[in-house]
Amino acid sequence: MLSMLRPTPIVPTVDFDRDGAQHGFLRLPYSRDDSAWGSVMIPICVIRNGTGPTALLTGGNHGDEYEGPLALFELARTLDPKDVSGTVIIVPAMNYPAFQAGTRTSPIDRGNMNRAFPGRPDGTVTEKIADYFQRELLPRANIVLDFHSGGRTLDFLPFCAAHILPDKTQEEKAFAAVEAFSAPYSMKMLEIDAVGMYDTAAEDLGKVFVTTELGGGGTSRAHTVRVARRGVMNVLRHAGIVAGEVETTPTQWLDMPSGDCFSFAEEGGMVETLVDLGDPVKEGDVVACIHATSRTGQAPQEIRAKMTGILTARHFPGLIKAGDCAAVIAVEV
Ligand code: ZN
């Protein structure tokens, strides 16, 4: 079936089978007004030392999330091949055009990398990147860590996460890697819509896949960057790629038992948060109010918790639109 697809147009400037540390690019041809034979140059680092497992580490799947890129650009600079058994492939900013623009989606094609899988070799720039990961990088990996944060519009408690999977052996390995990451919170994650996600692509290939949500608001914090840096080293130790013990710290496991975790705004307006991230809430509690801004004298719209748990994510900007995710509640396990 794969033979029916044309080859990728992306040319790597690194050799995935060569020992040592290589800093190069995935060069994606992109012809445009300001560069007729131009390219998108996506930074990639390969650190290899002999045979052994391969970890594929990514950030910037969404371009406005910074803990992953900060941890991974640093890891690429500092990880010594001598300390590696196997291969570490690092792509700190997967949707590089989006990362350069500081936006969630690509300014070239509006492509959302995490809705573009399996991608297309003859598609948009975003689809071509997805196709390269689908057919060239994911098959090389034993373990995949993809960093996310909330971006400009959401803010999260810092957690590492994996999904409930039909293959319980694969699921158990993923949750063991989440535990090793040692974020303050660890999540059994439910997706609103898993179609087209990198997560799903990796899991369908049988890979051990872990992800994170480590804050948000279109910036990073000292604490969440420390969590990201420690977490990625812990995952490499857990995978046997870097020697040494996992630096465990206590983690609180959370579960998202159903779609009732999510609350969406039904009208736009100005948000007033009534509980902060990590605060306990009971089913029926008002967690946020949305105040009308078009005139005075309007009663606010109340956003109520549909289950008892803790506030795990919230809309970040002060203004909200109808349909925006206003709050996410998760249950402490
Ligand atoms: Zn994201």
Ligand 1 centroid to Cα of residue 281, in Å, is: 25
Six-digit token string for 13: 């400037």
The confidence score (pLDDT) of residue 192 equals 78
Q: Is 47 exposed, middle or buried (0-12, 13-18, 19+ CB in 10 A)?
A: buried
Instruction: Answer for the pair 315, 325: CB distance below 8 angstroms, yes or no.
Output: yes
Ligand 1 centroid to Cα of residue 19, in Å, is: 32
Ligand 1 centroid to Cα of residue 295, in Å, is: 35
Residue 264 has, within 13 A of its CA and on its CB side, a CA count of 7
Ligand 1 centroid to Cα of residue 147, in Å, is: 7
Q: How many CB atoms lie within 10 A of CB 36?
A: 7
What global pTM score does this model have? Answer: 0.96
Strand partners, 114: none
Q: Which helix (H) or strand (E) holds 310?
A: strand 309-315
The confidence score (pLDDT) of residue 25 equals 98
Ligand 1 centroid to Cα of residue 99, in Å, is: 11
Six-digit token string for 64: 């406005």
CA distance 269 to 271: 6
Ligand 1 centroid to Cα of residue 104, in Å, is: 7
The confidence score (pLDDT) of residue 105 equals 98
Instruction: Answer for the pair 277, 157: CB distance below 8 angstroms, yes or no.
Output: yes
Query: Which domains are assigned to the chain?
Result: 2-255 (3.40.630.10), 259-332 (2.40.50.100)
Ligand 1 centroid to Cα of residue 95, in Å, is: 11
How many residues are given for the chain? 333
Average pLDDT, 10 consecutive residues per value, the chain (333 residues): 79 98 98 96 98 98 98 98 98 98 98 97 98 98 98 98 95 98 95 90 98 97 98 98 95 95 96 97 97 96 97 98 97 95
